[in-house]
Every structure is written in structure tokens, then in C-alpha cells.
Amino acid sequence: MSEYFSKRLKDIMPYTAGEQPQDKKYIKLNTNESPFPPSPFSLRLCRESAGDMLLYPDPEYNSLVKVAAQTWGVNEENLLFTNGSDEALNFAFIAYCDKDTPAVFPDITYGFYPVFAAINCVPKKEIPLKEDYTIDIKDYFNAGGTVFIANPNAPTGIALKKAEIEEIVANNPDNIVVIDEAYVDFGAESCVGLIDKYDNLIVTQTFSKSRSLAGARVGVAIASAALIGDLKTVKYSTNPYNLSRTSAAAGIGALLDEEYFNDNCEKIIEAREFFVKKLVGLGFSVLPSKANFVFAKYKDICGEKLYSELKNRGVLVRFFNKPRLKDFIRITIGTKSDMEKTVETVSEILKVIK
Ligand code: PMP
């Protein structure tokens, strides 16, 4: 750290991004990306837009917003596109948290929430998950701050039902509730349909997982026109051209190629169910996942050991060195063939170290 670094930030613990290894080819199951390439239509639109790169993009991203309004059955004024959904979440921290309005979220959840709280110098209130790693919705009623819930949650993969989220939103008339639906397309229920009923609800989604565009950085916030107006104030005060032209074009292609999107989500869900059955057969405990990853542990072998044994054999997964998480590994769901190979590798490891 240089002597010039702001004192305000000297204790900050930045988010640790998953490895993007350059050394060799892994079965890469560590950052919850899609194993499928972007839709061919997405790539075509992206290529066609590249020649216009000399010009700034339309900061309202009207073409993308029009298509997205159709996709989600909302009005154009209910949408704000962002540079990944991380940016939408950060905008919400900036817009709706301050020294008297803490960010409220589970103690086990997406690791970026505490970092957003820290970088924005706002207090946080972390609510422990229950023993079984689920959320007790009553813990979030009248939360006394801005609520952030990933649904499905990360890294557990466990989802709340839409009716349960609605109870949380209805029981926070004085607070904003942000539902982070990064993984919703793999079997959970979306709350987008509730934005007309509740003016305190923001739903965020990403194109990084189910729409195969992690590298394009496309996220979205969906909420009442008034809340989107607040978030736009933040956007125009930080980064008006927050998506590149090519990313916006890729986003349009991803939304219009619905068949490709649906097929890929189905394939991931199928591969997940196959993989979970196999892991359980091998003696693993696996939390019930509605995401494109599973969180699994094996008796008394710690997560770090499983992670490194898998890495040595060419399978990259993620482990978290934290209380209640360190016995687990988080394994992204790839293609069926990726998961078959992973099952073989896991079996081999168990033979050697059991
Ligand atoms: N929310 C959750 C729960 C996530 O796991 C991620 C991915 N790391 C994000 C949001 C952000 O994804 P992106 O910025 O790629 O849209």
C-alpha cells in the first residue's frame, strides 16, 4: 500500500475473484461461468457492432432495453443495464445505504456484499444462516436497513420460494429489498413479477451465467420507475457509458435467442441432477442446489484438500477458507461430459486418500 492511499480505505479487504488460470487447460468449474459458448446470434450482433466502436454507446442502451422489456414483461422504465450485475449491486449500496441505513445480508452469501459495504463506508448487519444453511425469512422482517439476498444464495445454491421473498418484501415497508437473481435461471422462482406490486423491491440479474456472457459484463436491475431513476442518478454520476457497444449488442442477441438460452439452462439442470446423484452415491453431502453449482463436502476431508487434489488432476473448483464453509467445495456445473470426468476424478481421489 502506498503512503498516499486514502485512510478511508486502508483496512479494506477486496473481493477475491476466482482463478482464471493461464498455466494449463483445466475442467474449469470454479467461477460459475457457462460451459456453452455465447449464442451464435449474440456473436453475430457483437461482430456487426464492432465497427461503430469509434463512437460512444447510447448511454440509455435503448435497443437493448426494448428487447429486455419484452423478455421480462416489464416497461422500459423498469430497466437499467449495468457492467455486470456487480455494478447494479454497487449502485444499490450507493443509493440506499448510509451511516443510518446499514446493509443487511446473511453471514454466508455472495462475498462481494461486505466489500461493497466497506468501499461505500456503510455499516453492515450480517444475519446468520440457520444450522442447515437456509435463510429464516423472519430474520429479515423490518430489517432496519437495506436488505440484500442472493436467491439462490451463494455459495450454498439454496433458493427461497417467490412467496417467501414476497413476505420479506412486504414486511419491509420502510426498507429497500434487493434480490440478486444471478443464478435464478437454473430452477428457482424469479421475483421480477413482483416489481409492479412493491415499490421497495429491486431485482438484479446477470448475463454471466445462463446467457454465456461473463466476459461481456452485462447485468441488469429491474424495479419500479422511481427506483430505476435513483439508480440512474448513481450511474450518471459514476459511469454513464457503463456497457461497451459490443457488450450491449451481445446482450440483445442473448435475449433474442431464447431457444438457445432455454436449451442450455435445461442441460445445466440435467447435468446438475446427474452430478448430485453421483456425489451422494460416493458419500458426499450436497446442499440442495437450484443454481449452476453445488456445494458439497465429504466426511472429514476438508475443502482445501479436495480442492488441491482436484486441481492436481486438472479439475478446478472453489473453496472458501471460512468457518462453516471450509469443509465444502463449490463445484460449477459444466457439460454432462465435464461432470462425468469430474465424478471419475473424485472417485480416484477417494480411493487414494480415504
Ligand atoms: N451475484 C452473485 C451471487 C454472484 O455469484 C455473482 C458472480 N460472481 C454476481 C452477483 C455478479 O456477477 P456479474 O457481475 O458477472 O453479473
CA of 268 to the centre of ligand 1 (A): 18
| Residue whose C-alpha is closest to residue 81's, from 250, 243, 253 | 243
Residue nearest to atom 7 of ligand 1 (CA): 182
pLDDT of res. 333: 98
pLDDT of res. 250: 98
CA of 45 to the centre of ligand 1 (A): 24
Pairing outcome for strands 146-150 and 177-180: parallel
- Nearest ligand 1 atom, CA 209: 15
pLDDT of res. 353: 85
pLDDT of res. 299: 92
pLDDT of res. 194: 98
Q: Phi-psi category of 89—alpha, beta or left, where left has phi over 0 and alpha has psi -120 to 50? A: alpha
pLDDT tens, residue by residue, 67-113 = 999 999 999 999 999 999 999 999 999 999 999 999 999 999 999 99
Q: Which helix (H) or strand (E) holds 162?
A: helix 162-170
- Nearest ligand 1 atom, CA 154: 3
Residues in the chain where the model's pLDDT stays below 50: none
- Nearest ligand 1 atom, CA 218: 16
pLDDT of res. 330: 98
| Residue whose C-alpha is closest to residue 297's, from 255, 325, 338 | 325
pLDDT of res. 336: 98
Specify the CATH superfamily of domain 7-36+259-353. Aspartate Aminotransferase, domain 1 (3.90.1150.10)
- The binding-site residues of ligand 1, defined as CB within 6 angstroms of any ligand atom, are 84-86, 110, 150, 154, 180, 182, 206, 208, 214, 219
Q: What is 40-257's CATH number, 3.40.640.10, 3.10.150.10, 3.40.710.10, 3.30.1360.10?
A: 3.40.640.10
pTM, rounded to two decimals: 0.97
- Pocket mutation for ligand 1, best pick of 31, 148, 205, 206 (most atoms within 8 Å of C-beta): 206
Q: What are phi and psi for residue 175, nearest 5 degrees?
A: -130, 155
CA of 32 to the centre of ligand 1 (A): 9
CA of 281 to the centre of ligand 1 (A): 30
CA of 354 to the centre of ligand 1 (A): 35
The per-residue b/e assignment along 136-160, b for 16 or more CB within 10 angstroms, e otherwise, is ebeebeebebbbbbbbbbbbbbbbb
CA of 85 to the centre of ligand 1 (A): 6
pLDDT of res. 300: 85
Cell representation of residue 160: 427461497
Please state the domain extents for the chain.
7-36+259-353, 40-257
CA of 308 to the centre of ligand 1 (A): 24
97 and 121 in contact (C-beta within 8 Å)? no
Q: Is 296 helix (H, G, I), strand (E, B) or coil?
A: strand
